Amino acid sequence: MVGLGMIFEETYRPFFEQAHARGVYDPAFGLLQVPLLAVASRTGSRAEAYRKDAGSKIAPFVSFSGPDAIGRLLESEVDFVCVASPDDRHFEAAIRSLKAGKHVLIEKPSVLTLGELDSLDKASLEHGVLAKVVYHKLLDPDHKKLRTLVADGELQHVNTGYCTLLEPKSISGGQFAEWITGRNPGTYVAVHYIKLIDFTFGGRLKSVSCTGQRGIVGTADGPTWDSTQLRLVYGYADGREAAFDIHTSWVTPDNFPGYVDQEVQFRFDNGVWNAHSRKRGIECTVEGRTPFTRKININNHYNGSFLEPWGERSQRGYGIEVLERFVREVAHVEHGGPPAERPGRLHTARQLAYNDISADRQTVAAVQAMEAILSRHAAGSPNCVVEVDHALGGLVLLTPGSSQPEVLYSGKVCAEQGAR
Ligand SMILES: NC(=O)c1ccc[n+]([C@@H]2O[C@H](COP(=O)([O-])OP(=O)(O)OC[C@H]3O[C@@H](n4cnc5c(N)ncnc54)[C@H](O)[C@@H]3O)[C@@H](O)[C@H]2O)c1
C-alpha cells in the first residue's frame, strides 16, 4: 500500500481487514489469503497510528517511509501494489512497481498525462502484470442501471449532460493543505464524471475547454483553483455530437448538508436521467452532531458501517467492492488455472475497460487538457481550447488571439470510434 490517507481509511482498510478475517474465495482459485504485507508513506506516522488502532484486525506489516520508501517496499514479497498517494505522485510509484513485476492498482485519476499513461501501459505489457485504476462510481448501482439502460438501447443517444460535485472546504483547507498549491478540484473529482461519461456512452472525445475561480484556497491570480467548470464534446459513430459540463468545487461550506454534494442530468433522444445525492433517500438529523461529525444526507451505497440483521458489524459498499474486484482479477491471473494458460488469463483481465489503464486514454486526455488550460489561464491566457486528434497531434492547445497551436501530446488519443 502506497499512501495511507483518507481513501486508505475509507476503503482499503476495510477491504484488507475483511480479507484478513475471511480471505477471498472463488471456485476458480480456491481460498486465498490477501495479507497487507507492507506500506509506504511520507512520514510513517499514519502507519504507526493504523497499526495501533487496528490491533488484531490485521496481520503484522512492515512500514517504510522517507525518500526511498517505495524502493524498499518493492524489495519485499508483495504481489500487487495499491497507489493512493496524491495524484501528481501516482506515476513514479506505479511505474516502479510495474517494472518490479508487481500488479498495480492506482487511485483516480491514474496519471496526469498521456505520456505517463503510455509508459505504464508499455511496462504492464512488458512485465506481464496488470495496471488498473479505481473509478468506484462505475460500480454505484445507480450508474450501473444507467449503463444498462444505455447498453440495452432503452435510453437512446445521449445529447447533453451536466454533472456537479461539491467538496467541503475542509478538503482544500485541511486534509489536502499540504499538496494543494497549483492544484484544482477538477482533476481531483470531475474525473469521476469524465470516466462515467466515457465508459457509459463511449464515443470519441473531440474537444476540451475549462474555466474556474480562484481567491479562497489561494490568491485570485495564483495557480490554485477553488472551483472549475469543464466542458467535453464527444462525437459518435453516426456523426452526431454530445456536450457535457462538469462543475466542481472544494470550497463548499462545511455545514452544507450533503456529504460531497452530487447531481447529474443526462438528456437522450428519448429520455432524461436525473440523479441527486441529496434526493437519493436519506435525511437524518442528530442534535449536536449533524452536519458536522455526521452528514445529513448519507450515501449508504458507497461505504457504510452497519449493524447487520444477524448481529455482525460490517463496513460495505461499492467503494470497497471495487478493490475486491481488482484482487479477484489478480487472483484469476495468478491462480485461476494452469500456469501455461496465464497469458490468456492476463489478456482477458486487460480487456476490462472499466479499470484497465489501456482504456483510460480519453479520461487522462481530458485531465491533461484541463490542467494545461488552467495553467495557461493562471499565466494570463484564459479560454484556451484543446482539440483532440487534431491534424497536428493528439492533444493540441489553441490560445485565443494566437496563431501558434501547441502540441501537448503528439500520438493519437483515440484509436477506434464508436460506443463500447
Ligand atoms: N476514489 C475516490 O473517491 C477517492 C477519494 C479520495 C481520494 N482519492 C484518491 O486517492 C489518492 C489519495 O487521496 P487521499 O484523500 O487519501 O489523500 P491524503 O492526503 O489523505 O493521503 C495521501 C497519503 O499519501 C502519502 N504520500 C504522499 N506522498 C507520498 C509519496 N511520495 N510516497 C508515498 N506516500 C506518499 C501521505 O503520507 C498520505 O498517507 C488521490 O489520488 C485521490 O485522488 C480517491
Residues 129 and 146 in one domain: no
Task: Give the Cα separation of 322 and 326 in Å (integer).
Answer: 7
Beta-bridge mates of residue 245? 162, 231
| 182 within a domain of the structure (yes/no) | yes
CATH number at residue 187: 3.30.360.10
Choice among 159-168, 291-300, 345-354 with the minimum mean pLDDT = 291-300
How far, in Å, from the CA of 153 to the mean position of ligand 1?
38
pLDDT score, position 162 = 98
pLDDT score, position 342 = 98
How far, in Å, from the CA of 83 to the mean position of ligand 1?
8
**Best of 10, 12, 42 for a ligand 1 pocket test (most atoms within 8 Å of beta carbon):** 42
Over the stretch 40-76, which tens digit does the pLDDT of each residue have? 999 999 999 999 999 999 999 999 999 899 999 999 9
pTM value is 0.95
**Best of 85, 183, 364 for a ligand 1 pocket test (most atoms within 8 Å of beta carbon):** 85
Residues 55 and 88 in one domain: yes
Which atom of ligand 1 lies closest to the CA of 93? 32
| 221 within a domain of the structure (yes/no) | yes
Q: What is the total count of domains within the chain?
A: 3
Residues 36 and 95 in one domain: yes
Question: Residue 312 pLDDT more than 60?
Answer: yes
pLDDT score, position 418 = 40
Residues 142 and 278 in one domain: yes
Over the stretch 132-189, which tens digit does the pLDDT of each residue have? 999 999 999 999 999 999 999 999 999 999 999 999 898 888 877 778 899 999 999 9
Which residues are near ligand 1 (CB < 6 Å)? 2-8, 40-42, 46, 69, 84-87, 89, 107-108, 134, 136, 175-176, 188
| 418 within a domain of the structure (yes/no) | no
Q: Whose CA is nearest to atom 18 of ligand 1?
A: 5
| 309 within a domain of the structure (yes/no) | no
Q: Is 124 helix (H, G, I), strand (E, B) or coil?
A: helix
Which atom of ligand 1 lies closest to the CA of 8? 16
Question: Residue 392 pLDDT more than 70?
Answer: yes
Mean pLDDT taken over the chain: 95
Q: Among 304, 325, 346, where does a domain finish? A: 304
Q: Give the mean pLDDT of 78-101.
A: 97
How far, in Å, from the CA of 4 to the mean position of ligand 1?
7
CATH number at residue 115: 3.40.50.720
AA identity, residue 268: F
| 414 within a domain of the structure (yes/no) | no
The Cβ-side half-sphere exposure at 49, using a 13 Å CA radius, reads: 10
pLDDT score, position 176 = 72
Residues 279 and 149 in one domain: yes
Task: Give the Cα separation of 1 and 62 in Å (integer).
Answer: 10
Residues 84 and 173 in one domain: no
Which atom of ligand 1 lies closest to the CA of 179? 19
Residues 297 and 405 in one domain: no
Q: Whose CA is nearest to atom 21 of ligand 1?
A: 5
Residues 258 and 153 in one domain: yes
| 420 within a domain of the structure (yes/no) | no
Residues 115 and 19 in one domain: yes
Q: Whose CA is nearest to atom 11 of ligand 1?
A: 84
Residues 151 and 132 in one domain: no
How far, in Å, from the CA of 3 to the mean position of ligand 1?
5
pLDDT score, position 419 = 38
| 416 within a domain of the structure (yes/no) | no
Residues 131 and 191 in one domain: no
Residues 227 and 293 in one domain: yes
pLDDT score, position 174 = 81
Q: Give the mean pLDDT of 109-125.
A: 98
Which atom of ligand 1 lies closest to the CA of 92? 31
Confidence of residue 416 (pLDDT cuts 50, 70, 90): low
**Best of 1, 2, 4, 7 for a ligand 1 pocket test (most atoms within 8 Å of beta carbon):** 7
| 119 within a domain of the structure (yes/no) | yes
Q: Whose CA is nearest to atom 25 of ligand 1?
A: 3
Q: Whose CA is nearest to atom 34 of ligand 1?
A: 41
Q: What residue ranges in 66-198 does DSSP mark as E strands?
A: 80-83, 103-107, 131-134, 158-168
Structural domain harbouring 184? 138-304
**Best of 107, 139, 196, 371 for a ligand 1 pocket test (most atoms within 8 Å of beta carbon):** 107
172 burial via Cβ count (<10 Å: 0-12, 13-18, 19+)? buried
Q: Grid coordinates in use for 67?
A: 525518500
SS3 content of the chain, % helix, strand, coil (to 5): 40, 25, 35
Cα distance between the two ends of the chain: 32
